[in-house]
Structure 1
Amino acid sequence: MHLTIAIIYNEPVPGHYEALGERTAVLGVLEAVEAVHQALVDSGYSVIRMPLLPPIESVRPRLEPLEADLVFNLFEGFDGWPGSEAAVADILSELGLAFTGCPSASLSLALDKGKAKAVFEAAGIRTPRYQLLKPETLGMFDLRYPCIVKPCAEDASHGISELSIVNDQASLERRVAWVCDAFGGLALVEEYLDGREFNATVLGTDEPLVLPISEIVYNLPVSLPRILCFPAKWEPESVYHRCTAPFCPAQIEPDLREKIADYAIRVFRLLGCSGYGRVDFRLDAAGNPAVLEANPNCDISPTAGAALQARTAGMDYRQFIDTIVHLALEQQPA
């Protein structure tokens, strides 16, 4: 069967993240576009590329005349507006276009990290203790130091650096103020877990499976906190990038592997995910896995963790991308 697949993605343009010195993450989508395009061609599909530009009101008329059997959704949100990722998925659904990955509701829920963590807690899934704070509500702080301070609704480690770890009231006040000013809204403040870090990619919908689990291995100077911050992901010359690496498969006991895989599938289902996504974990002081966050439609570029886990499972990159295509097609009415 000869299919035409349209790749949609956010065309990188200067904006808010560039002003923060974090534009490299925005440019990262282009690596995925190139690689996915080639993998689709290698699988025999006809491929159309469709970059999207703001404003959001221009997206629907851009997509309405699209003639394709499937949309490969690599859209990650417009610069400075991560919520537009879910908005575009919603437009695809309203237009009746078949597309890869997760639905709008999943993307929206996972992006709201506080709301997602509340869902995890309600289902009995461990997650670090947390509060949503702003400078005016710091008097309500009721967590144990050290803590990590993050934007409450961002992806790609935006706004996370070594300064995100706070050990006292003064550093907490400075970081919450900076996060709220730089990103708007509230800051997510979590009790920092210093245990081993893992992530698990989930593939599927009705019967999701967990790919081999990765451990994030840190070989940082003792003065730097062990966190997967923005430089670790996006700044190759930084000490964080040079001293942080995924190891797959993770060297862990079978019972821990089973706990992580069970949590990953439960989180995937709780968020209503389909196709693919990644769940991030840290071990608490007792060695129990706690969910840090979930990433529907996670990075699937060849150098990303999901592709590494797929290779470990025996899939080359073309097979990995073709699996995502078939998972999307299986969800369409006969």
Structure 2
Amino acid sequence: MNSDSKDKTILLVNTGPIKKRFTVQKLKKMGFKVIALNREKNWAQPYVDHWIIADLKNYSESIEQVRLFLTNNPDVHLDGAITFWEESVLLTSKIIDSFHLIGVPFRIARQVRNKYLFREFCQSHGIPAPRHIFIRKRDNLKEVKEKLNYPVVIKPVYGSSSAFVIRTENEQELFEAYDYIQKNISSYPDAAEWDDLKTLVEEYIDGDEVDIDLLLQNGKIKFYSISDNFNKSKGSFFVDSGQAIPSSLPIKDQNDLINMTEEILEKLGIYNGCLHVEAKSTKHGPVPLEVNIRMGGDYVYSYNKTAWNIDLIEYAALIAVGQFVKINRSEVPHRYIIGWDLHPNESGVLAELSNIDYLKKNRNIEEVEIYKTIGDSILVPPEGFESLGWLTVGGENILDAQDNLNAILKLISYKVVKFDPESALGKTERKNRFSPAVLNKNLFIRTAKIEAMKKAGISDLRRLKIGILANIYENPADPIAKYLSQIPLGLENAFKGLGYQVSVINLNNFSEVVDSLKNGDIDIIFNLGEKLYDDISYRSQIAALLDCFQVPYTGSDFSTISRSVDKIYFKKVLSYHEIPTPDWDYAYDLDDEIDDELQYPLIVKPSGVGHCFGISQSSVVTNKEELDREIKRIILEMKRPALIEEYIDGDEYEVYILGNEEENLRILPLSRTIFNGQDKNLWHIYTYESRWLDDKVNENFIRQMPPKNISKRLESLITEIALDTYNILGCKDYGKVDIKVDQKGNPYVIELNPSPWLYDFGTQGIVAAAKLAGIGFNELLEEIIRLSTDRYGHRFKAKNT
């Protein structure tokens, strides 16, 4: 614990996403009492002493909430404020002004945050700046050819992370770039926090780009470090590629950069803070690009700490609370460091990722940060501005560090399967190099609306256009088809009654599905689909289809559905994670040998189907002859692999779960089926007949919701096992886990249904369980929508540097 920070209270403005965990961890480790001003409580809960919840885009509301907190907590004295998130630097400056704290005043912060105002400031104070034009409307672009020389760069005046920064070589490219920005900028998640979405055009500056990290106190530079940027050009876009520290520029050029920075800060009137300055060293001298009044993102903290043993978070916080700091930087670095960003060549889905844990053990690796997991999308320009992550590599000198980097990059193994909606449908086109495929553009629009809804109230949520995707049959005789047809109509009526715009899309009419998804006017799909081409084994492909169209949808994704439908794969996952499940084996071919250690009676089930299809009383076998008969029936007649598992004699429990991951999971009341009421000669299982056809058999089952006369220990055990199954399989929004309990009270997972039917079956089903928990049908539907929009809002949030 740092004695200078003990008993000090610091306000952290905006925790940022979970990748910023290290910042608040460090503040807490230093001994600060941390107050977080944020739009919601989140992952930072273990490190935060007090929360102040406010709309961070509303400066007045945020300041008033801070003031109210201090009034209600007179024992709390605010010693300083800090942010590590670019979109919150202006709010932080407002707070500094309002509470007379140490930092950069708002009038100055606004001048440097707005790129146009910063260019104007430099020009009026004799500081080199490129010629530039503020673009208020499209017609202003015509002035460029008269006042500027190509190539030019167009960028948002309040942009961050190099998003929408584009180099153009001529007027046609400039107009195309402008149109691309205007169509997509409002859907960029961080843009919601920008004060203005207008753009700036300026002449391109040719030179060596550098970053300058500074610690400034009372107008004196206490520490600085210059790092060289690698080529940021990705075609017409500028993307962070990597940096090397310390700089390899000639000492004179480095001194010129520091002198220029000192002049800028003095003329601006910035006297305290941790700053991240971007500049270029040209043949005509240094030229500033940006002054960021917060610590640099990604690996900036890491490589400064490793190279110079300087902790930017620690000193930034001490400066913010007014503690005098004395910093002695060594003449030479402790280690030469290269930070490297991991960018795929094209947007797509991360399909493979390996060797990361092995790399972390490499003595030349300083740090590795991976943002994505397998199955996640990675959007690079023009579709988005994301990366897989980054790493930092060390060496005894810069050449050694470069050699080590090259060696390590050869060891990294990842594969991104690119989005290819054109080949999928043959319906998209690219008008120019800035135009993402139509489907990708629609992703931006949908994501922006969902992110906005996530932060809004229920009335705004109801502005979403919902598409209900389902299998609908005309006059169906099959009982399953009847339910599949009735359920979407119930949802349609409920959503219309709540004020939503809603449409029903019939999966049995595939051309209708394609047209509805391609048009892009649906914000989110309520996915009730179970069959594709009237085959339930293709159930997971429905989610895959929605992923290809990049349409957000409720419920689990392709991976989870496929693993639950494939009963054999499901059992493999359970066994790997040591989730209790009946001992089992499987057969794809009649020649496959079955484990002779399995104990009869056994039950034989077809894999790749649901709703007890293919299961009868004859499915439970007591000898080898019966076993062979059932395997033959499933493999030859049903054309399915056979799952063989030990029969569990006991009651069956259905566990319904709402939520995503651990922070918002809810277990609804359990449902229990007791089979003792049926014919004693019958096995205690659900068959297709007893589930759907024979009401008399159904009437003999005893169903309880909630279960009666079971111990708390058993109830807790069932719940915990169900939660583990739900989380391990990656269920999303809602789901059901089926568990059988033997005569000794041992629970075993039987199946997982990632999207149970939203139908009121009385003493069974998620609707009945929710009703018992005080959640009405309409409320349940909206809760599923809310869970889904929250999830998509998090998933597509752009990475901030």
Tell me if TM exceeds 0.5: yes
Q: Does 1:257 align with 2:715?
A: yes
Q: Does 1:214 align with 2:674?
A: no
Q: 1 CA distance for matches of 2:620 and 2:787?
A: 39
> Which segment drifts farther, 243-252 or 172-181?
243-252
Q: 2 CA distance for matches of 1:290 and 1:316?
A: 30
Go from structure 1 to structure 2 and tell me whether the alpha carbon gap of 1:325 and 1:139 turns closer, same or farther (over 3 Å shift).
Answer: closer
Go from structure 1 to structure 2 and tell me whether the alpha carbon gap of 1:62 and 1:84 turns closer, same or farther (over 3 Å shift).
Answer: farther
Indicate the SS of the match to 2:655: strand
Aligned residue pairs: how many? 326
Match of 2:698 among 220, 241, 249: 241
Matching of residues 117-128 of structure 1 within 5 Å? 117-128=571-582
Matching of residues 310-329 of structure 1 within 5 Å? 310-329=770-789
Q: 2 CA distance for matches of 1:112 and 1:197?
A: 21
- 2:548 matched residue in structure 1: 94
Answer with 1 or 2: which has the greater Rg: 2
Instruction: Give the partner amino acid of 1:210.
Output: I
Matching of residues 104-115 of structure 1 within 5 Å? 104-115=558-569
Go from structure 1 to structure 2 and tell me whether the alpha carbon gap of 1:181 and 1:13 turns closer, same or farther (over 3 Å shift).
Answer: farther
The structural deviation recorded for 1:324 is 1.1
Q: 2 CA distance for matches of 1:246 and 1:299?
A: 18
Normalised to the residue count of structure 1, the TM-score between the two structures is 0.90
Match of 1:46 among 501, 509, 513: 501
Instruction: Give the partner amino acid of 1:125.
Output: I
- 1:136 matched residue in structure 2: 591
- 2:525 matched residue in structure 1: 71
**1:143-193 C-alpha deviation (Å, 9 max, x unpaired):** 111111110111111111111111112221211111122321311111000
- 1:179 matched residue in structure 2: 634
The structural deviation recorded for 1:330 is 1.2
Q: Does 1:148 align with 2:603?
A: yes
CA contact (8 A) 1:60 1:91 kept: no
Go from structure 1 to structure 2 and tell me whether the alpha carbon gap of 1:308 and 1:285 turns closer, same or farther (over 3 Å shift).
Answer: same
**1:90-136 C-alpha deviation (Å, 9 max, x unpaired):** 12122221111111110011111111111112212100011112432
Match of 1:26 among 478, 481, 492: 481
**1:291-312 C-alpha deviation (Å, 9 max, x unpaired):** 0111101122122511111111
Unpaired stretches in structure 2, ≥5 consecutive residues: 1-459
- 1:307 matched residue in structure 2: 767
Go from structure 1 to structure 2 and tell me whether the alpha carbon gap of 1:256 and 1:79 turns closer, same or farther (over 3 Å shift).
Answer: farther
Q: 2 CA distance for matches of 1:162 and 1:73?
A: 33
Instruction: Give the partner amino acid of 1:184.
Output: K
Instruction: Give the partner amino acid of 2:489.
Output: E
Instruction: Give the partner amino acid of 2:775.
Output: M
Q: 2 CA distance for matches of 1:34 and 1:181?
A: 37
Instruction: Give the partner amino acid of 1:5.
Output: I
Indicate the SS of the match to 1:196: strand
Indicate the SS of the match to 2:545: helix
Instruction: Give the partner amino acid of 2:641.
Output: L
The structural deviation recorded for 1:58 is 7.7
Indicate the SS of the match to 2:650: coil
Indicate the SS of the match to 2:767: helix
Choose between structure 1 and 2 for higher RCO, CA contacts under 8 A separated by at least 6 residues: 1
Q: 2 CA distance for matches of 1:139 and 1:331?
A: 42
> Which segment drifts farther, 103-112 or 127-136?
127-136
- 1:331 matched residue in structure 2: 791
Normalised to the residue count of structure 2, the TM-score between the two structures is 0.39
Indicate the SS of the match to 2:752: strand
CA contact (8 A) 1:54 1:78 kept: no
Go from structure 1 to structure 2 and tell me whether the alpha carbon gap of 1:112 and 1:40 turns closer, same or farther (over 3 Å shift).
Answer: same
- 1:204 matched residue in structure 2: 659
Q: 2 CA distance for matches of 1:268 and 1:38?
A: 30
> Which segment drifts farther, 271-280 or 161-170?
161-170
The structural deviation recorded for 1:13 is 7.9
**1:195-228 C-alpha deviation (Å, 9 max, x unpaired):** 2211101100133221111101222111211111
Q: 2 CA distance for matches of 1:127 and 1:260?
A: 12
Match of 2:619 among 148, 158, 164: 164
- 1:82 matched residue in structure 2: 536
The structural deviation recorded for 1:270 is 0.8
The structural deviation recorded for 1:80 is 5.4
Identity of aligned residues (%): 26
Go from structure 1 to structure 2 and tell me whether the alpha carbon gap of 1:49 and 1:306 turns closer, same or farther (over 3 Å shift).
Answer: same
CA contact (8 A) 2:650 2:684 kept: no
**1:279-325 C-alpha deviation (Å, 9 max, x unpaired):** 00111343111101111011221225111111111112111112111
Go from structure 1 to structure 2 and tell me whether the alpha carbon gap of 1:13 and 1:85 turns closer, same or farther (over 3 Å shift).
Answer: farther
**1:247-269 C-alpha deviation (Å, 9 max, x unpaired):** 11112211111111111111111
CA contact (8 A) 2:468 2:526 kept: yes
The structural deviation recorded for 1:84 is 2.1
Unpaired stretches in structure 1, ≥5 consecutive residues: none
Instruction: Give the partner amino acid of 2:466.
Output: I
CA contact (8 A) 1:25 1:234 kept: yes
